[in-house]
Amino acid sequence: MSNESLIARRQRAMGPAYSHFYKEPLYLTRGEGVWLFDNKDRKYLDCYNNVPSVGHCHPYVVDAITKQIGTLNTHTRYLHHAIIEYAEMLAATLPGDLSVCTLVCTGTEANDLAYRIARTVTGNEGAICTVGAYHGNSTLVSELSPEFERLRPQPDFVVDVAAPDAYRGPFDDADADYVQKYADLVDDSIAELAEKGHKPAMMIIDSIYDAAGVHTPPPEYQQKVYEKVRAAGGLVVCDEVQSGLTRMGDNYWGFMDSGVVPDIVTMGKPMGAGHPLAVVVTTPEIAAGFATESDYFNTFGGNPVSATAGKAVLEVVARENLLANVKRSGDYLIAGFKKLADKHALIGDIRGKGLFLAVELVRSRDTREPASSEAAAVIEHMRENGVLLALIGQDRNTLKLRPPLVFTTEHADIALAALDDALSTVAHA
């Protein structure tokens, strides 16, 4: 089957709202570890996909799901040991009182539920989100996702606050007070909500600020923000859909790097290694407050097959010591990017932690003019050379590397060589 005929059929069958990566879309037919294979059996190094967290088609996960689906699949209104064991195993990875898990199917659902919980237990309606953030695609959660320009008037209960972007944001790290200044913007957001007649029910934070370009501010930033939101009567919801499950290399969950404990944590993408599994975790007190208002049921969320997938993933993460692997490979990649920055003037900034890294390309290090077309050319060139990654940021000039957690330093060498070659080619084009 040719790619051309599939593109035309897809357009007819699925409509124009779906986009795809690359000028020539890739037709992938199988995956194994950090490798993807196309319909001509060409091999690509996957530096982009975080959903296959423990590697594409990890045999242990595949075996566990296969056995469970051949035995039973129901829902949470019957007792099943796998569902309870999963919730207990997940709670054991979290600090403080974060121990009550609600299982859902997507990150969007998790964030939507987090808002419902926050609204119920605080009695407030307001929500603070970060400029450039993405938290999901439902009607409500897309209002909390200003990555895409809002085409309708912003609801009065939602306000945006600038991300702590020390490279392009209003304050840069040359200013000794920049952390305090970014945190103080949250006071302005709380005041803006008050002007509109609202108090915050929650502030939602993506620990790695992925869609806003990848930022890892010093721990004091989150500490100050948490204090401000809580003093105004709101809860802090930490969206760990991207940054969680060892992705940032020092801890299981990104917020732990800042020494804070959120009121609610949402998880998604990597949790089921490709099986749709997402979770909302909160404290017994908050969970009890929510339960006074609402029973919770989700037809597919928390079914025994999904719970088995989640358990198998946690087992592989522990058994293969992926936290240490992420740290080792991430530090190695950062060192490699720094060397490339000595050689390639296009590299303006290197950000991120663990296996969630961003390389921002600029036409001039002085003006920081975004090198958007150059970044697009780099991505295409690397694909030609068998390495897959993607672009982020408002100007789409930042390369994003966020491979499966089993990515090693040997894989990093392949990615760095391909990037070196792509940057040389694009600079001389």
Query: What does the binding site for ligand PLP look like in residue numbers (CB under 6 A)?
Result: 106-108, 111, 134-137, 206, 210, 239, 241-242, 268-269
- Cα 255 to its chain centre, rounded Å, is 12
Least distance CB 240 / ligand PLP (angstroms): 8
CB-hemisphere CA count at 13 Å for 354?
30
- The DSSP annotation for 60-117 comes to HHHHHHHHHHTT----TTS--HHHHHHHHHHHTTS-TT--EEEEESSHHHHHHHHHHH
Name the closest residue to ligand PLP (Cβ): 107
Least distance CB 283 / ligand PLP (angstroms): 21
Report the SS3 class of residue 160.
strand
Q: What are phi and psi of 60, to 5 degrees?
A: -65, -40
**Would you say 160 or 239 has its CB closer to ligand PLP?**
239
Planar angle of CA 114, 353, 217, nearest 5 degrees? 65
**Would you say 107 or 336 has its CB closer to ligand PLP?**
107
Least distance CB 108 / ligand PLP (angstroms): 3
List b or e across 143-179, with b for residues whose CB sees 16 or more CB atoms inside 10 angstroms: bbbbbeeeeeeeeebbbbbbbbbbbbbebeeeeeebb
**Would you say 270 or 370 has its CB closer to ligand PLP?**
270
Using alpha carbons, select from 360, 22, 15 the residue that is nearest to residue 166. 360
Distance between CA atoms of residues 120 and 285, nearest Å: 12
Least distance CB 98 / ligand PLP (angstroms): 18
Least distance CB 109 / ligand PLP (angstroms): 7
Distance between CA atoms of residues 112 and 139, nearest Å: 9
**Would you say 106 or 306 has its CB closer to ligand PLP?**
106
Least distance CB 367 / ligand PLP (angstroms): 30
Using alpha carbons, select from 138, 427, 71 the residue that is nearest to residue 278. 138
Least distance CB 50 / ligand PLP (angstroms): 9
**Would you say 46 or 239 has its CB closer to ligand PLP?**
239
**Would you say 254 or 370 has its CB closer to ligand PLP?**
254
Distance between CA atoms of residues 53 and 63, nearest Å: 16
Least distance CB 350 / ligand PLP (angstroms): 21
In contact, 392 and 358? CB cutoff 8 Å: yes
Least distance CB 242 / ligand PLP (angstroms): 4
Q: Which two tokens stand for residue 241?
A: 């859909």
**Would you say 171 or 253 has its CB closer to ligand PLP?**
253
**Would you say 190 or 265 has its CB closer to ligand PLP?**
265
Helices (H), 292-408: 304-319, 322-343, 372-384
**Would you say 264 or 418 has its CB closer to ligand PLP?**
264
Distance between CA atoms of residues 97 and 284, nearest Å: 7
**Would you say 119 or 247 has its CB closer to ligand PLP?**
247
Q: Which two tokens stand for residue 200?
A: 């915050």
Least distance CB 111 / ligand PLP (angstroms): 6
